[in-house]
Amino acid sequence: MFFKNKKILVIGGTGTIGKNIVKHILPEEPEVIRIFSRDEYKQFELQNEVKRNSKLSYWIGDIRDYDRVLSAMEDMDYVFHTAAMKHVSFCEYNPFEAVLTNIIGTYNVIRAAKQQNIKKVVFTSTDKAISPTNNYGATKLSAEKLISSAEYSKGRGKTVFCTVRFGNVLGSRGSVIPLFVKQVREGKAITVTDLSITRFMMTLEQATKLTIQSLQISKGGETFILKMPVIKLKDLAEIVAEETPKKYGLDPSPVDIVEIGLKPGEKRYEELMTYDESLSAYELPDVYIVPSPFAPGKTYKKASRPKPGTYSSEGEIPLTKEEVRKLTMEQNLI
How far is it between the farthest Cα atoms of the chain? 66
Report d(CA 37, CA 212) in Å as an integer.
19
Pairwise CA distance, residues 136 & 27, whole Å = 34
Q: Cα separation of 195 and 238, whole Å?
A: 10
Of the residues 7, 42, 114, 128, only one is catalytic, namely: 128
Strand partners, 202: 169
Q: What are 149-154's contacts with CB under 8 Å, separation 24+? A: 149/221, 149/292, 149/294, 150/110, 150/114, 150/221, 151/220, 151/221, 151/292, 151/294, 151/295, 152/292, 152/294, 152/295, 154/114
- CA dist 249 and 210 (Å) reads 37
* End-to-end Cα separation, the chain, in angstroms: 35
The reply to whether 128 belongs to the active site is yes
Which residues are the active-site residues?
128
